[in-house]
Chain A
Amino acid sequence: DAGVTQSPTHLIKTRGQHVTLRCSPISGHKSVSWYQQVLGQGPQFIFQYYEKEERGRGNFPDRFSARQFPNYSSELNVNALLLGDSALYLCASSLESESYNEQFFGPGTRLTVL
Chain B
Amino acid sequence: AQSVTQLGSHVSVSEGALVLLRCNYSSSVPPYLFWYVQYPNQGLQLLLKYTTGATLVKGINGFEAEFKKSETSFHLTKPSAHMSDAAEYFCAVSVTGRRALTFGSGTRLQVQP
| Chain A residues at the B interface, C-beta cutoff of 8 Å | 4, 33, 35, 40-45, 48, 55-56, 58, 90, 92, 97-100, 102-108
**Secondary structure call for the A interface:** loop
Measured CA separation A44–B99 after assembly (Å): 12
Point out the residues of chain B lying under 8 angstroms from A42, CB to CB: 4, 90, 92, 103-106
Within 8 A of A (CB), among B2-55: 4, 32, 36, 41-46, 49, 51
Measured CA separation A49–B103 after assembly (Å): 19
Total interface residues on B, CB under 8 Å, equals 25
User: Hey, what's the 0/1 contact readout for B37-81 against A, CB within 8 Å counting as 1?
Assistant: 000011111100101000000000000000000000000000000
Asked if B43 contacts A105 (CB within 8 A), the reply is yes
Point out the residues of chain A lying under 8 angstroms from B111, CB to CB: none
- The 4 A-B residue pairs whose C-beta atoms are closest, nearest first, are A42-B103, A56-B99, A45-B100, A105-B43
